[in-house]
Chain A
């Protein structure tokens, strides 16, 4: 028994090292901007760079838009599949998993061919419409996570009976979706939203090839030209991602009460 326990400790230790050694090394490296002393000089320079603020803001805005479009697309779909088309579930699940299988680079080349400025729908012709295209591509990228989160949330409540109860009380579809279903999958939608946020903030391929000023390309640009700042940026984006995960936990816990689902 002792040897078994020792074995598991070793495995845990290896796992922890696998994750934390690179992170700690990056962090340590990011502090060595000034020769001979540890300092946050690299962070100061990064945060002072106006492009940092601009790209983070841009990416954050796109992330919010992505989340909104994603919720609008996924919640009614997952709801309807669960309520009326349970036979279609495997098909829908397969479709939502496709973005994990098809590389982003393939997607974006597809976009560039279909929506280029000489096509019927020249979305890449103007900056605003390119933003639109970027949002839609992010919705696609986040689809596996968003769909799974929402679908799990819907499974935890008795969708059919709640729908019928609301119907018999006179509610139409908008009221049922917004007033009954959505509030009861709030936690699931939020966790899907934070995952989406984390994905969009760090995304490089789409933004770069569509030539938009997002945080991912900025990160790459700094990384190619500077020494210490990229390390600081990497730590910052880790912090953002972790903050998102933390928020999922907080909201998940806060929802032990009313929105915890059917009992």
Chain B
């Protein structure tokens, strides 16, 4: 995801495209092992400052394992594993559809341990993909714009609110540009599956000249700055982690349904060190049992109870259903529909 690099002020090297690899990376960081010679190569869409605590904790427990952490967008990750078969030990991505395709097409190793067995059924597929975070898609609003007003609780309420107040919201709605964002596409396609109101909402947003974004971080920042009154389908964990910095924003979980995106990990078939990779999978699968660590990463870990707390939560189902929206024709027609709804007027 592109927003991964936005908030980082770390020693992230931007590698030139002239390097040995043809897929594009956004950053890389090396964590050498104090002892031992094994180095795990991880390709991930997660931002380094989010993931670093996990790596450090892992190395504390496994001092013999060095880690090479490479950040790439979900599309580039797909290209690295699927097309170029780069020898990575782990692929971590929030693009559930692409991870599913990797497993379905035979690019993932099966792995099983006590830790993975303990995961709920919806959090794994074929013992090849393992979810370790659950991240709801939320509505982020600016409190100033909703002063003295009840914020919408469902999508229907949001639609009528927007219809009734075109002046207030024109040009001040933010959402993903599903043509460039993997997470945005995933949320949008699941929305279109879950309810008929999605297309009406898209049309309303298009009529009100919604601004399109590539990442959640930018949307949150713009809501906080007052440029946007609301942002639809923001990754909840990012919004939560920014709450302390941006006091003026508020997070709304819809009551009709909440898509929950699962961040997943898989071990590619050509992983050079599958057993050490398995240790990392275990460490991620047991994130829920280490609250001190999750606090530092701001990643909401997978927990079976997390779903019961909110009956509207719908974890996006891993499995072949996710391949449907990756179908060439399906994607083409979905984007066409989306574009024509969103861009009814030339801005």
Our verdict on whether A and B bind, yes or no, reads no
Give the A-binding residues of B (Cβ under 8 A).
none
Give the B-binding residues of A (Cβ under 8 A).
none
